[in-house]
Structure formats: structure tokens, C-alpha cells
Amino acid sequence: MSRFVDRVVIHVAAGSGGNGCASVHREKFKPLGGPDGGDGGNGGDVVLVVDSNVHTLLDFHFRPHADAASGKQGQGANRDGATGEDLELRVPDGTVVLDEAGEIVVDLVGHGTRFIAARGGRGGLGNAALASKARRAPGFALLGEPGETRDLVLELRSVADAGLLGFPSAGKSSLIAVLSSAKPKIADYPFTTLVPNLGVVTAGDSVYTIADVPGLIPGASQGKGLGLDFLRHIERCAVLVHVVDCATYEADRDPLSDIDALEEELARYTPALGGTLADRPRLVVLNKIDVPEARELAELVRPEIEARGLPVFEISTVSRAGLRELSFALAKVIEEDRASKPAPEATRIVLRPTAVDDAGFTIVQDPTDDTGFIVRGDRPDRWVRQTDFNNTEAVGYLADRLARLGVEEALAKAGAVPGCPVTVGGVTFDWEPSTPAGVAVMMHNRGDDPRLDRPTRVGAPERKAQKVLRRTPFEELLDEDEE
């Protein structure tokens, strides 16, 4: 027997972008081949796709971690890295996606509906794409961005037009079995359905779905019994049907008290998808009238139920009495609900241009340091993530980009002084406003920037001089000292 799972927590991680390549074309008799490093590939997305053939979240229960493929690194000869493939996760129709705080992110309804749960990182640019008049042969490339990582909650809320409400063993499973081709578990002993069952009903020209959901008991709105696991499956229903057992052997129960108990639980429950259950149409089904005592009780309580404004149907799933009238009554209510809803409109593409006064970043005082500042913005944060801080030329390029964006000017207006700590994208720098930006960079070794402090590691010229010194005979060194 397959296991039904309607709520899971998944951990999705999109693929990281591949790093760009820093390469220089080398060919015989062509000493100035120029940069030819390719770009890194973009990381793959994690996408949730509604599939009408999937009816449970069981796969995510056993495999809650989903990682998309990362992009490949760029290579020389202007070869770009391969793009990581998207990871598509199939979910049932009616799946609601919530974030860690419990807020609804998206409601996935309709076969083929797609939602990007985690976006892949951008691939880094190679040095061929970074070449300019100021930097003819960049000795660096941009790093790929890490992919987005999120923890999401998936909840399945059944997509049904009519929902059957009732106490355990009220006959809901039997009713859906005779109205549709569904085959729920039915037995001649008391038990409650543990998983929702869906069936398709045809009444004349109308076709609608009906849900047989777990039995409801007093206190369900506070989580008692199956509690909220049951109630969320009726949030989408257009009509609610009270299935009342008129042949119950429990002395403290009767049809009116059962209806009152169910209505009290519905009034206490607040649907997460919005609205209330109080405004949903109701029908009352007095079941098991094939039993003589049950028929007498149904005839006795019917006038009082109708006095409350609720349509009443006396049925028997054994003799099939009253089923035709019930199916057509449900079809009428459902068709009226469908007609009252607005017609679906085509998806509109909304373009939101950047405001003319939007600088793309903001500067705030560092709460942990009175002399420090924090630069916040999508572009500055992304540029920092793309920078290789082991390469001083790449750091100088980052300084140029921030200066062209207006960060240095904004820091000066905010009261920043040379040497004060400035945090961008989680990395803290000692601000040096004298660093020129956007000017022609002087000739220098690849991977180095003369505007910045020289790195502590020994460069190629120093290593070459030390090598020559080691190979010089000791006598020649003494002669040079005497002279």
C-alpha cells in the first residue's frame, strides 16, 4: 500500500555559476595574441512543476535535499563553460509553497504551472570580456556567483469542487465510491479515513471533483486528532457537504449535534489561502436510510435542518436511494460558483523601469562601529562575490566599478574619512578615497595593480634577480664588493 504524504520540508540549492577564465592567446610568431579567456556557465535553477499524475509528496519525504547542477568554468581560446541543467521537481496539483516563516510564497494550481524555487548563480566573465582601452590584457577573471539556497515547506491542499465532512464512519468513503470511480477503503467496522480520496463525478453535462477527507472530530481546529491535516484539504472546495450517520450506535450523538459540532470547528478554522469557510454553500446528507430506524430519525430531524436554510438529502449508499438528486444538486451549486468567478486573463508582462533617482545602493552607519559604514545594494554585493581577492588587479577593478557607481562620492557625503572601515557584501575594506577610478591604468604585470599596495608575495622580477644572485660565483661577488 502506498504511503500518502501531504506536508514536507525540502532543502533546495541552485547550482553555482562557473568561474571565468584568465587566459592569453599564445601562438608562434604572434606575441601579442590578447586575452582569450571564456566566460563561466550559469548555474541551474531548481524548478517546481505541477504534474497531474503526481498525487503525493512522498518522494520529497525520503529525498528532501534537491541540488541543481553547477555551471562549468570557462577555458582559453574563448571557450565558455557549460550551463548547469535545471532540476525540475514534480509536485501534485494544489501544492502550496511556504517559506521558513510560514508565509505563503506561491499556490501551484494547474497542470504545467512552474515556479523557480531557487535561482542559479551567474557565471563569471572571462578576461576576454573584461578587456577595454584601460585594460588591454586583464590578468584576472570574475568568479561565478553561488546559487540560491532555501528551505521551503510544501503542503498539499486537495483540488476538489465538493468536500465531504463528517464524523468517522459516517459513510463518506462509501458515498464517494458510489458517486465516482474512486476506490477508497470501505469496511463493516468503525474506522476513519487517513488520507484524502478524490473522485470525478458526472452529472448530466457537468463534471466535477469530490473529496473524501479524513473524519472530523471536536477540537480539530486546535489540532486534535487529524486536526489541521484534515481542514486544509477543504480550503479550495466550492461547496461543503455534511454527511450525517443516522444509524449511529452512540447514545450521545444525533444528526443535529453532529452538524453543530462540525460547524463550530469550521468557524474556528482560518484558511491560509484567504477567505472564510462560513460563506461556502452547505448541503446536508442524511446517510444510511436503508436502516428503518435511520429513516425514521432522518424524517424526524429533516424539518429542523431545513429551518436553518440547509438543503437536505436522504440517501443510502447501499440501495443508492437519493444519489441522483444529490449529484445534480451538487452540480448546480458548483456550476453557479464557477460562473461567479471572473474569466481567467492572459498573463501580463509588467515592466518596472529603474527610477531616475535610484542610485542602486544605500549607505548606512555600521551599528557595531561608530566610524564604519555599510554599503547595501544588489549590484555592489554581486560585484564583491565575483571578485578574487587574491588578485590585486581584480580588487582594483572592483574599486573602479564601485567608484563609477558613485559609492566613493556617497561615502564622502556621508562623512567617511580615509582609513575608516567600509563593509560591502560582507567584506570590510579600509577606505582610500584617493584611489583613482576609471582612468587609464599604467603598464604593469598581469594580475597586479600599481594603485594598490603591493602584495606580500615575491613577484617575478624579484624571483629572477634572486635566481641570478644564487648562480653568481662567490669570488665575483667579492670582487664587486671591493670595487
Q: pLDDT value at position 189?
A: 42
Alpha-carbon gap, residue 117 to 139, rounded angstroms: 36
Q: pLDDT value at position 221?
A: 45
479 three-state secondary structure: helix
169 labelled as ligand-binding?
Answer: yes
Q: pLDDT value at position 130?
A: 92
Alpha-carbon gap, residue 26 to 167, rounded angstroms: 80
288 labelled as ligand-binding?
Answer: yes
119 three-state secondary structure: coil
52 labelled as ligand-binding?
Answer: no
Q: pLDDT value at position 75?
A: 94
191 labelled as ligand-binding?
Answer: yes
Q: pLDDT value at position 247?
A: 83
Grid cell at residue 316? 443510502
In 57-142, alpha helices (H): 58-62, 127-130
Alpha-carbon gap, residue 169 to 188, rounded angstroms: 9
From the list 422, 402, 311, the residue with the least C-alpha distance to 359 is 402
DSSP H or E run through 460: helix 460-471
166 labelled as ligand-binding?
Answer: yes
Alpha-carbon gap, residue 185 to 293, rounded angstroms: 26
- pLDDT of the chain along its 483 residues, tens only? 345 677 899 999 999 999 999 999 888 887 778 899 999 999 999 999 999 888 888 889 889 999 999 999 999 999 999 999 999 999 988 899 999 888 889 888 888 889 999 999 999 999 999 998 878 889 899 999 999 999 999 988 877 888 888 887 778 888 888 888 766 555 444 445 556 777 888 888 888 888 877 656 555 445 554 445 567 778 888 899 988 888 877 767 788 888 888 888 777 777 766 667 778 889 999 988 888 888 988 899 999 999 988 999 999 888 888 899 999 999 999 999 888 887 766 657 677 887 777 788 899 998 888 889 999 999 999 999 999 999 888 988 998 889 888 888 889 888 888 888 999 988 998 888 755 544 444 545 566 666 665 555 566 777 777 777 777 765 665 665 555
170 labelled as ligand-binding?
Answer: yes
Q: pLDDT value at position 383?
A: 93
167 labelled as ligand-binding?
Answer: yes
202 labelled as ligand-binding?
Answer: no
Positive or negative CA dihedral for 362, 367, 368, 372?
positive
Distances (CA, A) of 41 to 122, 206, 321: 7, 51, 66
Q: pLDDT value at position 185?
A: 55
214 labelled as ligand-binding?
Answer: yes
From the list 359, 381, 365, 378, the residue with the least C-alpha distance to 420 is 365
192 labelled as ligand-binding?
Answer: yes
Largest CA distance in the chain: 130
In 122-254, alpha helices (H): 127-130, 172-179, 228-231
138 labelled as ligand-binding?
Answer: no
Q: pLDDT value at position 220?
A: 47
316 labelled as ligand-binding?
Answer: yes
Name the amino acid, one letter, at 30.
Answer: K
What are the chain's domains?
A: 1-156 (2.70.210.12), 162-340 (3.40.50.300), 362-465 (3.30.300.350)
Alpha-carbon gap, residue 14 to 88, rounded angstroms: 11
171 labelled as ligand-binding?
Answer: yes
Q: Is the pTM of this model over 0.75?
A: no
DSSP label of 136:
S
